């Protein structure tokens, strides 16, 4: 991408973050929402780099995965519709690209279970299996049990679980609609906007254009995923516009963990001081 004509790009490597330490202090001092700290890796670095370049407006790809692609659960819907050959073909593609070491039968089994398990069976699994109980979510956490009870953490988690999929989707399109209508998308947009504003950056989200969302929702599922390849329609419309090796890559490498590790290393003394001297025992 950086070799494209007319593109004036900027790059930042994890081992260069020490030069960003002073800018990072702005984030630590002005961030009021604890959850904002979850995007301290790549997005935070981009906003700092953009401010240094004098950029005022940034376009991002949120939530492109929800708009121009489809979650991997679509195989279950194909099975439910009786499209077994297509389901197997898609499962082969997914296994080949994303999980070549997992047996194909396991992917097909999980999809078939999701497709044909009765409603009472799914309810039983969600409410009886220990791993799915809200109480298990805080059992081994650092949250003090007394504090968790006072603020009703279990009730909050249960409400979140009920609101995630109040009515299970019956078609691939309904499943995508649910993902587009999920509360976490609104929360994510607000979070990115807040953090960017700390560095005087205005974020804009082209994939959230209503006309584009409605258009992509109306597309057949084969224009979103096909034999393991996601964002099919986006790959098609960018032919000739971006390098072919970028357009045809099956998936992107997530570099967030490398930046997270670099930020944590850079702020190790601050983290240790917070943990040792500022945590209140009535909460943890």
Residues 6+ apart with CB under 8 A from 74: 90, 172, 175, 221, 225
Structure confidence at residue 131 (pLDDT) = 62
Q: How many domains, the chain? A: 2
Whether 130 and 136 have beta carbons less than 8 Å apart is answered as yes
State the Cα–Cα distance between residues 186 and 281, nearest whole angstrom.
33
Q: Is residue 54 part of a domain?
A: yes
124 with 165, same domain: the answer is: yes
Residue-range definition of the domain harbouring residue 208: 1-60+182-218+253-284
Residue 29 and residue 54 share a domain: yes
88 is a domain residue: no
What is the model's pLDDT at position 202? 95
Specify whether 195 is located in the same domain as 269.
yes
Classify residue 70: in a domain, yes or no: no
Would residue 167 count as lying in a domain? yes
| Helices marked H in 165-250 | 172-180, 183-198, 210-218, 232-237, 244-247
Indicate whether 147 and 189 sit together in one domain. no
In a domain, 163, yes or no: yes
136 domain residue, yes or no: yes
Residues 30 and 128 in one domain: no
Please give the Cα distance from 8 to 229 (Å, whole number).
29
Q: Which of 160, 180, 200 is at the close of a domain?
A: 180
Kindly state whether residues 9 and 54 are assigned to the same domain. Answer: yes
Q: pLDDT tens track of the chain, all 284 residues?
A: 878 888 888 899 999 988 888 888 777 777 777 667 666 678 888 999 999 999 999 999 889 999 999 887 899 999 999 999 999 999 999 988 888 888 999 999 999 988 998 877 777 776 676 566 667 777 777 888 888 889 998 888 878 777 766 677 889 999 999 889 888 888 889 888 988 998 999 999 999 999 999 999 999 999 999 988 999 999 999 999 999 988 988 877 778 888 888 888 888 887 788 778 877 777 77
Q: What are phi and psi of 123, to 5 degrees?
A: -60, -45
Query: Is the same domain home to 131 and 213?
Result: no
On whether both 137 and 195 belong to a single domain, the answer is: no
pTM recorded for the entire structure: 0.81
Residue 83 lies in a domain: no
Q: Are residues 207 and 134 part of one domain?
A: no
211 part of a folded domain: yes
Nearest Cα neighbor of 47 from 190, 189, 202 is 202
């Amino acid at each position: 991408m950086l070799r494209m004509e007319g593109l004036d790009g900027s790059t930042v490597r994890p081992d260069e973050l020490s030069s960003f330490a002073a800018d990072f202090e702005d984030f630590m001092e002005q961030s009021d929402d604890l959850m904002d700290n979850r995007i301290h890796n790549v997005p935070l670095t981009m906003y700092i780099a953009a401010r240094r370049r004098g950029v005022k407006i940034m376009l991002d790809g949120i939530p492109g995965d929800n708009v121009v692609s489809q979650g991997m659960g679509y195989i279950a819907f194909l099975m439910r519709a009786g499209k077994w050959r297509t389901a197997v073909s898609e499962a082969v593609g997914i296994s080949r690209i994303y999980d070549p070491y997992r047996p194909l039968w396991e992917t097909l089994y999980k999809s078939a279970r999701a497709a044909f398990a009765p409603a009472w069976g799914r309810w039983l699994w969600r409410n009886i299996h220990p791993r799915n109980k809200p109480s298990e979510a805080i059992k081994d956490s650092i949250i003090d049990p007394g504090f968790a009870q006072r603020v009703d953490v279990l009730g909050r988690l249960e409400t979140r679980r009920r609101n995630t999929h109040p009515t299970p989707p019956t078609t691939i399109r309904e499943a995508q609609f649910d993902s587009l209508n999920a509360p976490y998308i609104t929360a994510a947009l607000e979070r990115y906007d807040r953090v960017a504003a700390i560095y005087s950056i205005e974020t804009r989200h082209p994939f959230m254009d209503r006309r584009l969302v409605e258009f992509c929702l109306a597309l057949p599922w084969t224009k979103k995923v096909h034999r393991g390849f996601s964002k099919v329609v986006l790959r098609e419309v960018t032919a000739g516009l971006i390098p072919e090796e970028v357009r045809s890559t099956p998936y992107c490498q997530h570099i967030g963990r490398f930046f997270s590790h670099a930020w944590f290393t850079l702020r190790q003394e601050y983290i240790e001081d917070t943990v040792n001297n500022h945590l209140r025992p009535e909460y943890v």
